[in-house]
Amino acid sequence: MTAGGLPGWSSGPLPVVEPEYLASLLAATSDLVFVLAPDGEIRSVLLDSNSKEHPRVSEWSGKNMRAYLTVESIPKLESALSQVAETGVLNRLVELNHRDDTAWQYPARYSFHKVGPNGSILMLGKDLRSVAETQAQLVQAQIALERGYEERREHDARYRILMAHAREAFVFITADGRIRDANAAAARLLNCTIEDLVAAPISKAFRYRQRGEFLDALMNAANADFDRDMTVQATQSRRDLTVTPSVFRSAGEKMIFCRITRPSEVGEGDERVPSGLDVLYHKSPDAIVISDSDGVIVSANEAFLELCGAPGVADVLGHSMSDFLLRSQVDLNIMLENAKRAGYMRVYATRLSNAVGDSISVEISSTRLDDRGPSAIGFVIRNAEHASALRGASQAANQPEAPNQQVIELVGSASLREILTETSDVIEKLCIETAVGLTGNNRAAAAEMLGVSRQSLYVKLRKYGLLKREDP
């Protein structure tokens, strides 16, 4: 080639090639050789004898090249033929796609050369099928890679949504004991932020005998066949938590998945308890009410609606519990303060007002519900009208004189020690009468209620004249 890029020899004379060797030389240096007329008719075809496509392409001789080109290649051929006819040279390579039917294509790269005085054009072509196959493989690989990226982004989105909204607390721990990831529920249980947990050693999140032993204990529990739960105390919240570890591998790296629960929470194996509690709430004969820290009702069961005479649950939601208590805010404050301070109040006797202005005796137990938020209070309300009637009947039958009046009459006629002795007898008598009345005169049950033997109860009944004539 010359310095200007045109065909020619840089030095020396042009070698003389005999005609009988020219065809073999062209066939050896090119995969496809065509001699075209100026209008594109194929005058001659030269092929490498080792080419698999030799029988097919050799039949093109005498036909127009355009018939064996794809639609997008025909304009390329016409442009190349026009330029060679005008200037005699084409200083660029042209890629054409041959076709013989719908299923066969043959991509090739050609150089065009004008030969002979009659305008014949020599096309020297290089087979590009291997290049096309490589490009197709690269395209498929790129498509597969993009599809993989898209699937990973989709999985990451699902993973993040699951981490953000899962109610169960869990963390992922690497083999060296550092927290790889944690969800919001775990951060709340451990009383810290997710940013504080990620990349921090797991031993700092929990109190253990020895920090270095905690990771080993997790691994041993994860590899156990049963009883994988570990109860440990959180460092920040000081709560006792149950950690259930499981080991898995991700991309060749060993990881530990830890589910964190409170010891009071229901385990996975007992799925009947939550559904049973739901049935108990709705069908319990005792009224159950859940309120916020100020006593405003947020949930109530059907028994409470019957007790207060409300038509529907919408008629009590948003109302204060004090609206249904006879002593209003006084009763409510006592129950709320005890529940918040001690966590619960066992029994509080008061009266409940209904929709028509009547009131009934009730016994209320209140409990702070930590699992529904730090400010939720639960109330269990029981109708005590029947118990009050029994107590009143017992007092009317067996207590003709008020005990307080008996004690008052002793002042001035007896010493303080004698008065205290008499007072203790009065209290003991009242307790025995109450126990006998509550148990329906069942002496064995009354003795068990008072924590004394049945023989001692009979002695005291005779002492205070509480035995009936028909008793032995």
Q: 117, 22 in Cβ contact below 8 A?
A: no
Report the CATH fold assignment for 272-383: Beta-Lactamase (3.30.450)
Helix, strand, coil tally for the chain in percent (to 5): 45, 25, 30
List residues bridging with 170 in a β-sheet.
259
State which amino acid sits at residue 353: S
Q: Where are the domains of the chain?
A: 21-127, 166-261, 272-383, 394-463
The pLDDT value recorded for residue 379 is 92
Whether the Cβ atoms of residue 203 and residue 193 lie closer than 8 Å to each other: no
pLDDT at 389: 53
Q: Single out the residue of 94, 121, 92 nearest to residue 107, CA to CA.
A: 94
Q: Helix, strand, or coil here: 34?
A: strand
> What angle do the packed helices 454-463 and 416-438 form, to 10 degrees?
120
DSSP string over 314-338: GGTTTSBGGGGBTTTHHHHHHHHHH
CA distances to 329, 334, 352, 373, 382 from 337, rounded to whole Å, are 12, 5, 19, 17, 20
H or E stretch covering 369: strand 359-369
The closest of 230, 223, 193 to 208, measured between CA atoms, is 230
CATH level 3 topology of 21-127: Beta-Lactamase (3.30.450)
33, 122 Cβ separation under 8 angstroms: yes
Local structure of 207: helix, strand or coil:
strand
Correct CATH for 394-463 of 2.30.29, 1.25.40, 3.30.2010, 1.10.10: 1.10.10
Name 26's Cβ contacts closer than 8 Å, sequence gap at least 6.
33, 46, 124
- pLDDT at residue 55 in the model: 60
Q: What is the pLDDT of residue 253?
A: 85
Angle (nearest 5°) at CA 262 between 297 and 185: 75
End-to-end CA gap in the chain: 140
**Tokens 């609206």 found at:** 323
Q: Which CATH class is domain 166-261?
A: alpha beta
**From the centroid of its chain, how far is CA 462?**
68
pLDDT of residue 1: 42
The low-confidence residues of the chain, meaning pLDDT below 70, are: 1-24, 27-28, 48-55, 102-103, 210-212, 225-227, 264-276, 355-356, 370-375, 386-422, 438-440, 468-472
**Tokens 């109330």 label which residue?**
379
Q: Read out DSSP for 69-112?
A: B-TTTHHHHHHHHHHHHHHSB--S-EEEEEEEETTEEEEEEEEE
75, two tokens: 């304009």
Do 21-127 and 394-463 show the same overall fold? no
Distances (CA, A) of 97 to 44, 69, 81, 134: 19, 6, 16, 16
Q: According to the model, what pLDDT value does residue 380 have?
A: 92
Decide if 350 contacts 327 (C-beta within 8 A): yes
**What is the DSSP-derived secondary structure letter of residue 41?**
B
Beta bridge partners of 296: 320
Torsions phi, psi of 387, nearest 5?
-65, -40
pTM (2 d.p.) = 0.38
